[in-house]
Amino acid sequence: MTVPQVAITKPRGPAGAPLVVLGASLGTTTVLWDGAAAFLSDRFRVLAFDHPGHGSSPAARDSFTVAEIGIGLLGALDSIGEREFHYAGLSLAGAVGLELVLAARDRVTSTAIVCSGAKIGEPAGWAERAAAVRTDGTASLVSGAAGRWFAPGSIERHPDITARLLNDLRDTDDESYALCCEALASYDVRRMLGQIAPPVLAIWAEHDEVTPESSAVLIADGVQVGRIHQIADASHLAPAERPAAVAAVLGEFFGGAR
């Protein structure tokens, strides 16, 4: 396995403010966090990263684990001289966040796991999706993703951001997407949650069937210091649908974490 390269955005926000690192779901890019980041950057320095083969990150051709995405992220942060940070990751990036706080707890001040889980899906399902993408490309996933990602009526209420996110899925490198699926197939940190000491906020969304309330409860109950919060009127991509609401709960959590 090879540690993949991940691209990060330039931090924005007040000089000297605590750093917040944001990560997106499988098939989406830093665009997912644009709205919430605009709110958070009033109080924090904020940057986001792209998964391998997504957005600005180079395509991957060698297999990697979810934990190794985190190692790639730490390397990118090292390259700009950043050490300690708050972290918020959605879905795949939420999995990265749990692996990060297990491996580098001295660097992660607090962690928000958004619409994610300590285990996501089943290995057979990820293997099937990887095979489908290698055959038909990520464009074949767009129709199904629209139903999973957004709450009822959300596409009509937010046509611009939902279209951008679905286009990002279509533009994601096929092989990199498949390798991310295979990384998720082997991901399971349920038995390690009790080792996590920094504060963790597990956020779930009202209409999310991919990672429902039970996924957030398992995380919050399993770590040493855990909280749970629901985002109403949103589904799997809650920061895109309810950016102000997500930013508000993250700002309160990060502001109170020590």
The pLDDT of residue 256: 77
End-to-end CA distance of the chain: 35
Distance CA 19, CA 106 (A): 14
The residue-averaged pLDDT of 178-188 equals 98
Question: What rounded mean pLDDT belongs to the chain?
Answer: 97
Token pair of 38 as six digits: 């605009």
Place of tokens 């083969």: 53
Architecture of domain 19-256: 3-Layer(aba) Sandwich (3.40)
pLDDT above 90 coverage of the chain, percent: 98
State the pLDDT at residue 32. 98
Write the pLDDT tens digit of every residue in 41-81: 999 999 999 999 999 999 999 999 999 999 999 999 999 99
Average pLDDT over residues 201-219: 97
Q: How far is CA 42 from CA 13, 37, 88, 96, in A?
A: 6, 9, 17, 26
Enter the DSSP assignment of 8.
Answer: B
The order of strands in the sheet holding 108-114 is 45-49, 19-23, 85-90, 108-114, 200-205, 226-231
For residues 177 and 135, what is the distance between their CA atoms, to the nearest angstrom? 12
User: Counting Cβ atoms within 10 Å, is residue 169 exposed (0-12), middle (13-18) or buried (19+)?
Assistant: buried
Confidence of residue 2 (pLDDT cuts 50, 70, 90): confident
Maximal CA-CA distance, the chain: 48
Query: Are 64 and 40 in contact, with CB atoms under 8 Å apart?
Result: no
pLDDT at 1: 63
> Is the pLDDT score of 4 beyond 90?
yes
Instruction: Inform me whether the pLDDT recorded for 82 exceeds 70.
Output: yes
DSSP string, 38-59: HHHTTTSEEEEE--TTSTTSPP
Strands (E), the chain: 19-23, 45-49, 85-90, 108-114, 200-205, 226-231
pLDDT range class, residue 257, cuts 50, 70, 90: low
**Cα separation of 93 and 52, whole Å?**
12
CA atoms of 234 and 1, how far apart (whole Å):
36
What digits encode the pLDDT tens for the residues 123-154? 999 999 999 999 999 999 999 999 999 999 99
pLDDT reported for residue 37? 98
Q: Where are the domains of the chain?
A: 19-256
Amino acid residing at 140: S
Which of these, 15, 23, 35, 37, lies nearest to 87 by C-alpha position?
A: 23
The answer to whether 87 touches 43, Cβ cutoff 8 Å, is: no
